[in-house]
Amino acid sequence: EAGVAQSPRYKIIEKRQSVAFWCNPISGHATLYWYQQILGQGPKLLIQFQNNGVVDDSQLPKDRFSAERLKGVDSTLKIQPAKLEDSAVYLCASSYNEGLHYGYTFGSGTRLTVV
């Protein structure tokens, strides 16, 4: 079974630039999550999708971050404009709709450096 695919693996941008990350979840997983992991901290949930609808985006900085999952499969997370404090690893995860933690799988992440 293929895992959660994320791209790019690494990205370096200057502050005030824009950046986008892509995630393709495991086939059949209805739920998709984006987490932000700042160096030295645990991952923090940014947004959760159920199919193509948003379940929880309470910790997403909506003035600069946006995410979409138009067809209920893959997803993109965008930052515009980026700030220095956005430097982090952005993790995508997916799970089956039913059952707690059933099939919950993380991707390898995208490491963003803002200079």
Partner 1 sequence: AQSVTQLDSHVSVSEGTPVLLRCNYSSSYSPSLFWYVQHPNKGLQLLLKYTSAATLVKGINGFEAEFKKSETSFHLTKPSAHMSDAAEYFCVVSDRLKAAGNKLTFGGGTRVLVKP
Binding site for partner 1 (CB under 8 A): 31, 33, 40-45, 48, 50, 55-56, 91, 95, 100-101, 104, 106-109
Q: Provide the minimum distance between the beta carbon of 23 and partner 1 in the complex, in angstroms, as a whole number.
A: 13
CB of 4 to partner 1, least distance (A): 9
Nearest approach, Cβ of 36 to partner 1 (angstroms)?
A: 11
- Provide the sign of the torsion angle of the four alpha carbons 16, 37, 9, 5, taken in this order: negative
What is the DSSP track for 55-91? EE-TTS-TTTEEEE-TTSS-EEEEESS--GGG-EEEE
